[in-house]
């Protein structure tokens, strides 16, 4: 696996890959890789000639500075894992490479990004969309892969690509869950043993509740601090706080529910 840090370095690689007629698949990440990322990488490897993964803890999408500080960082371990998986390129930019303008320019969506997670995390999706567009502009992949755990993010990115006529195909991958039903997330590492049990209850209540209201009531009965539970585009999406860690999850809604 070749590690590339600068745009000029990537441009050289990109010319070589393009001239061999190879397709490029891209998995953007913030590191702290887990089974969810692995599933994206494996799909990307299977569907493209060359796979590039980026690791960049994007500061502009953290509305809470404490959350940014606490965000787990493990580049060496991540890099070894990506190498084992057979990834071709690791893109590891620094802040100036991604934000040469110091974030004076940003991408704003005015509808969907203000709801659900957006209603509770001001500026979050602005940061996500801006960084993803910049990464797409640097990498220029044929396909890019996003997890359905961050369902709102995935839909916003798909819409952004349509809105800006961008030449990249967005593919989504199903949520990966641990044996106790908890959707895998870098944040799970921050949970206490009791918090982890509550997280499993959160997953189970979300999956089995008959309506958003029923889920809300059951979560509150368990003393789980709610951010939101809402039905949207055939999914039931929820965010909660457990051990002061914000966890999100979603399930498809069966038509009879």
Instruction: Give me the active site residues, please.
Output: 37
Told to check if 132 binds ligand PAF by CB under 6 A, we report yes
Told to check if 118 binds ligand PAF by CB under 6 A, we report no
Told to check if 209 binds ligand PAF by CB under 6 A, we report no
Told to check if 185 binds ligand PAF by CB under 6 A, we report no
Told to check if 170 binds ligand PAF by CB under 6 A, we report no
Helix, strand or coil for residue 245?
A: strand
Taking the complex as a whole, the smallest distance from the CB of residue 27 to ligand PAF amounts, in Å, to: 9
Told to check if 28 binds ligand PAF by CB under 6 A, we report yes
Whether residue 62 contacts residue 51, with contact meaning beta carbons closer than 8 Å, is answered with: no
Told to check if 239 binds ligand PAF by CB under 6 A, we report no
State the Cα–Cα distance between residues 163 and 220, nearest whole angstrom: 39
Q: Which of residues 31-70 bind ligand PAF (CB under 6 A)?
A: 58, 61
Q: In whole angstroms, what separates CA 248 from the centre of its chain? A: 11
Whether residue 143 contacts residue 43, with contact meaning beta carbons closer than 8 Å, is answered with: no
Told to check if 152 binds ligand PAF by CB under 6 A, we report no
CB closer to ligand PAF, 131 vs 251: 131
Q: In terms of Cα–Cα distance, which of 244, 209, 246, 245 is closest to 230?
A: 209
Helix, strand or coil for residue 183?
A: strand
Among 131, 139, 144, 184, binds ligand PAF (CB under 6 A): 131
Tokens of 53: 């993964």
Stretch that binds ligand PAF, among 85-93, 124-132, 197-205, 206-214 (CB under 6 A): 124-132
The residue whose two tokens read 């966890």 is 247
- Output the CA torsion 95→96→100→105 (10° steps): 20
Told to check if 128 binds ligand PAF by CB under 6 A, we report yes
State the Cα–Cα distance between residues 207 and 218, nearest whole angstrom: 12
Interaction site with ligand PAF (CB under 6 A): 28-30, 58, 61, 128, 131-132, 150, 153
């Amino acid at each position: 696996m070749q590690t590339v840090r600068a745009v000029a370095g990537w441009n050289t690689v990109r010319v070589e890959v393009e001239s061999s007629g190879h397709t490029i698949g891209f998995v953007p990440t913030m590191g702290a890789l887990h089974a969810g990322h692995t599933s994206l990488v494996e799909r990307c490897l299977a569907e493209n000639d060359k796979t590039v993964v980026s690791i960049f803890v994007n500061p502009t999408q953290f509305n809470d500075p404490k959350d940014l500080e606490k965000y787990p960082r493990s580049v060496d371990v991540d890099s070894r894992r990506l190498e084992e998986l057979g990834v071709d390129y690791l893109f590891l930019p620094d802040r100036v490479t991604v934000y040469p303008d110091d974030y004076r320019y940003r991408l704003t969506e005015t509808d969907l990004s203000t709801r659900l997670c957006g209603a509770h995390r001001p500026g979050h999706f602005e940061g996500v969309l801006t960084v993803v567009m910049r990464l797409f502009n640097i990498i220029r992949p044929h396909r890019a892969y996003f997890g359905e755990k961050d369902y709102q993010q995935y839909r916003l990115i798909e819409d952004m690509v349509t809105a800006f006529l961008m030449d990249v195909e967005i593919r989504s991958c199903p949520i990966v869950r641990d044996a106790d039903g908890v959707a895998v997330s870098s944040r799970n590492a921050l949970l206490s043993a009791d918090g982890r049990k509550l997280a499993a209850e959160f997953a189970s209540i979300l999956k089995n509740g008959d309506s958003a209201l029923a889920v809300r009531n059951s979560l509150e009965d368990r003393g789980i601090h709610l951010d939101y539970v809402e039905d949207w585009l055939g999914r039931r999406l929820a965010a909660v706080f457990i051990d002061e860690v914000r966890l999100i999850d979603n399930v498809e809604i069966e038509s009879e529910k």
